[in-house]
Chains A and B, each alone.
Chain A
Amino acid sequence: MNPEAIKDLVIKMADDELILGHRNSEWTGLGPVMEEDIAFSSMAQDKIGHAWALYQVLHEQLNGTDPDRFAFLRKENEYRCSQFVEMPNGSYDFSLMRHFLFDHAETVRYESLAASAFEPLKTLALKIRGELKYHTLHANAWVLQLSQAGEESHARMQQALNEAIGLALGIFEPSEHWEDELISGQIYPGEVALRQRWEERILPVLTQAGLSLPDLGRVEPIYGGRKGYHTVHLLPLLNEMSEVYKLDTEASW
Chain B
Amino acid sequence: MASKESIYKALEEVMDPEIPVLSVIDLGMITDVQTGDEIVVKMIPTFAACPAISYLQSNIKKVLEEKLKMPVSVLIDKSVNWASSRMTQAGREKLKNYGIAPPPREQQSDPLLTIASQVPCPHCGSRETYLRSPFGATLCRAMHYCKSCGQVFEQFKPLD
Contact = CB atoms under 8 A, between A and B. Distances in A.
Interface of A: 35-36, 38-39, 41-43, 45-50, 52-53, 120, 123-124, 126-128, 130-131, 133-134, 137-138
Given A133-B111, A137-B112, A137-B116, A39 B49 contact: no
A53 B50 CA distance: 11
B115 interface: yes
SS class, residues of chain A in contact with chain B: helix
A42 B136 contact: yes
Give the interface size class of chain B: 20 to 34
A49 B112 CA distance: 22
A126 B78 CA distance: 11
Given A137-B134, A138-B134, A50 B48 contact: yes
Closest 3 CB pairs of A and B: A49-B49, A42-B135, A35-B133
Contacts of B160: 130
B47 interface: yes
19 contacts: A35-B133, A35-B143, A36-B133, A38-B135, A38-B136, A38-B143, A39-B133, A41-B135, A45-B49, A46-B49, A46-B139, A47-B49, A49-B48, A50-B48, A123-B78, A131-B48, A133-B112, A137-B116, A137-B134
Interface of B: 47-51, 78-79, 81-83, 111-112, 115-116, 132-137, 139, 142-143, 157, 159-160
A52 B49 contact: yes
B133 A45 contact: no
A46 B134 contact: no
A45 B81 contact: no
Nearest to A33: B133
A25 B79 CA distance: 30
Contacts of B134: 39, 134, 137-138
A112 B30 CA distance: 28
Contacts of B111: 130, 133
Contacts of A47: 49
B47 to A, nearest CB: 6
A44 to B, nearest CB: 9
Nearest to B79: A123
B132 A35 contact: yes
